[in-house]
Amino acid sequence: MAYRKELNLLLSTVLRELQPGDAEYEAARANNTPCRALLEWKRQGLWKCRVVIQGHLEDKEALDGPDFQYSSDVVGLTAIRTLFMKPIHEGEAIGQLDLATAFLQADLFPADAPPRYLRLPDPVTGTTRYFRQLGVVYGSASSPKRWQDTLNAWLVKPEAEGGGGYTQGKNDPCLFYHKRLKVSLASYVDDLAARGQRKNCEEAFAAIAARFKCKEVLWLTPTSALDHLGMTFFQDELGTYLSMANYIEAMCTRLGVDPDRGRRCDTPMSGPITDLTPLGRAEAKWFMSACGMIGWLAGTGRCDLKLSHSRISSHMANPCVGALKAVVQAVRYAAHHKHLCLYQPFGGPDDWVHYSDSDHAGNVEAHAKRKSTLGYVSMCGSAPIGWGAKASSVNFDDRLARIAEGCTPSANNPTAPRWVKPADPAAHAKLSELHPDLSSGAAEIYAASVTLTEVLHLSYICEEMGFRMDPPFTILVDSTTAIAFSEGSVIGNPN
């Protein structure tokens, strides 16, 4: 039943079956791309079948041309958090719209395009069936890009010409703003989310549904939560929340981790990763899966995992016993604190506050070469919206690590070891003294500069969504050196 339903849908949209004796039948037998039917049991208690092209076997140059750009875009997670977690004021609403079988609704191939033929082993009859492909099918390498071009072209088309009338973002091409309706729209392949006055969002969704086949609109209310891109957004009488509890439960099941066994974990990471014993193939595969899931949590709604993921993921190229122990602790920590949420009260201020911090050569792991680690967080109202943690790009090789550990980071150090010679410069061939980047102040200044670039990008995204984030931007730091540098009081100072 599920297979018949899928095949009928394809035949009514993007496929035409070829029979022996048809003009194109022999050409289809001689030059085709194989397909296969996939059967899946859905959470709703139904079987779902999808016929997909084996895209890795497509003759891409012959079908799409040598210069076809296959990359497509999805909205950034920071933009999604801004859309959902910015303080909601009276009359505002957030809705979600899922486009049904989106790729099949992409524009059909032009009449002068090279012919495409598909071969499908029928799982029911055991026969081989051939088709002329009229439009994109799931699995094809060009499907995501062709669907994106179809959707975006209609969204930016003027309303007077039958389009959506949106302005597309330049910094995030999956963000759109409707100036007349004052509606912000974010697209993630076939998942759309909109925010604005309720009646305006309804009008926006109605226009999209008139152009594309869509499922029912879902609204975020105190009585109905939204699962959007694996993030659960819900409301109560106080405000809006972002929870990753459902994903964490699924992660533990997928990884075979029982959070009820063993001691409770109250920190995502306990210390440096020092046991570099290589993992076997099976353990390394499990480690990579677990690290990827922790990375998704750290990038969506659990900013408390960002630093630990940054440290653990640096061992992805060479998985080791110490990294395995660290990721197990991170998984157990997430499971033991799965109900931690981001929270934004209703009607709160839209003010933004940005924080920046860095340690100084604090990563003692051998492969890190004493890199400093920086972090930042951007708060809107009471909720963190943007955050990050990364190792500085500045490190010491083995020789310079000895310099950093054997003397203080100042010019003309009288207590420097005798092996610190002008022939061993710290940063440049013409410098005989240690470079000031060895100071904690330099690390903090670098962290603030990275934070500033992130804040600027966030401000551009907010502008493209129709939200306010007015300059000047204040970045809060705890380093007097960085503060003095930002105020310009160190310029020309002989001390």
Per-residue pLDDT of the chain (495 residues; tens, 9 = 90+): 789 999 999 999 999 999 999 999 999 999 999 999 999 887 667 888 999 999 999 999 999 999 999 999 999 999 999 999 999 999 999 999 999 999 999 999 999 999 999 999 999 899 999 999 999 999 999 999 999 999 999 999 999 999 999 999 999 999 999 999 999 999 999 999 999 999 999 999 999 999 999 999 999 999 999 999 999 999 999 999 999 999 999 999 999 999 888 889 899 999 999 999 999 999 999 999 999 999 999 999 999 999 999 999 999 999 999 999 999 999 999 999 999 999 999 998 999 999 999 988 777 787 777 788 899 999 999 999 999 998 876 655 544 444 444 443 333 344 444 444 444 334 455 544 434 356 788 889 888 999 999 999 999 999 999 998 988 999 999 988 888 888 877 665 555
| Total Cβ atoms within 10 A of residue 219 | 14
Task: Write the Ramachandran bin of 41: left for phi over 0, alpha for psi from -120 to 50, otherwise beta.
Answer: beta
Which pLDDT belongs to residue 371? Answer: 81
Q: What does DSSP assign to residue 379?
A: E
pLDDT, position 458: 96
> Which candidate, 392, 390, 389, 395, places its Cα nearest to that of 369?
395
Nearest to 384 by CA among 415, 417, 342: 342
Given this model, what pLDDT does residue 394 score? 60
Distance from the Cα of residue 415 to its chain's centroid = 49
Residue type at 11 in one-letter notation:
L
Threshold 0.75, pTM exceeds? yes
**DSSP state, 159?**
G
Q: What is the pLDDT of residue 33?
A: 96
Cβ-proximal residues to 96 (8 Å cutoff; 6+ apart), any chain: 191, 192, 193, 194, 217, 218, 219, 220, 226, 228
Distance CA 235, CA 241 (A): 6
**CB of 189 within 8 A of CB of 67?**
no
Q: Which two tokens stand for residue 409?
A: 């980071």
DSSP label of 419: T
pLDDT score, position 492: 58
pLDDT of residue 423: 40
User: Hey, is 315 helix, strand or coil?
Assistant: coil
Give, rounded to a whole angstrom, the gap between the first and last alpha carbons of the chain.
Answer: 81
Q: Do 279 and 319 form a contact (C-beta atoms < 8 A)? A: yes
What single letter denotes the amino acid at residue 478?
Answer: D
In whole angstroms, give the CA distance from residue 268 to residue 302: 11
Q: What are phi and psi of 222, to 5 degrees?
A: -60, -15
Q: pLDDT value at position 42?
A: 76
Instruction: Please give the Cα distance from 461 to 172 (Å, whole number).
Output: 7
